[in-house]
Amino acid sequence: MNNKLNEIIRHLDSIGLDELKAYKLLNRIDTKYLCHSENIGQVLEKAHKDFKIQEIGSSRNSSYETLYFDTPELKTYFDHHQGKRIRYKVRFRKYIDTGDVFLEVKKKRNYIRTNKKRSEFAFATCLDDEHYRFMKDCVKLPESKFNEAIWTVFDRITLAGRNHLERVTIDTNLRFRNGSNEVFLPDLSIIEVKREKSISRSPFSAILYDEGIKPRGFSKYIMGNILLDPTIKHNRFKRRIVTVNKICYGTKCYK
């Protein structure tokens, strides 16, 4: 993170973790945006009147580690590739700054509505019977077992609306890895605007619109699979790959 962006972040009003719990929004509508990391400073300067920034201890930029699970036939990946209206992902997420770890099942319906359920566990690379009991309470599971798939590591800025129920995350320094490869995307920022389905207007989305940043679907799990293994079937996501490469490298080709 450059010095200018650090200075902008430092001058935002803060919100503590306990206060932010009111913004969980587990039944919500998510809208994602992609942009070059150089754009983030200007966006945050415009957001300071309507948003506060999460602060944990003295940190306003938190680190996350996520391990995704999938079946041997990659059911969750191909459910997304096939455009199924109901799909889900299974992952362990570790909040590095606090040490908290959750097993999460993130379910999406009708392309826009997201419901996330999670339970606190010790971090694990293999799922046991207790994990599966939790997962079965969330979604209908296939017969195949879930195995370790890919890892992601990233930094996150979290904003919360001052007077409205909206939360925004800005992810940077995204890394993907599996057993054999690693990919680093330092110039890509992923912005996600999260609001309860009852909230019709998003002040942060209005800022992004003014900056010429348009909504674009993006899944870390999907993109990580493709970048780590370009031979995987990915016809449905070719436009997204072009977008990512143009942002990161100024080219339409793989780098």
pLDDT of 153-209, one tens digit each? 999 999 999 988 899 999 999 999 999 999 999 999 999 998 877 777 789 999 999
Residue 5 vs residue 177, higher pLDDT: 177
* H/E stretch holding 170: strand 166-177
User: 115, 111, 94: which is closest to 103 by C-alpha?
Assistant: 94
Q: How far is CA 105 from the centre of its chain?
A: 13
Place of tokens 């309860």: 196
For 48, the token pair is 């300071």
Residue 36 · residue 187 · CB < 8 Å: yes
Enumerate residues 6+ apart whose C-beta is below 8 A from 197: 27, 28, 29, 113
Separation between Cα atoms, residue 118 and residue 178, nearest integer Å: 23
Which residue type does 116 have? K
Confidence (pTM): 0.91
For 18, the token pair is 């306990």
Separation between Cα atoms, residue 144 and residue 147, nearest integer Å: 9
Domains contained in the chain, CATH given: 3-249 (2.40.320.10)
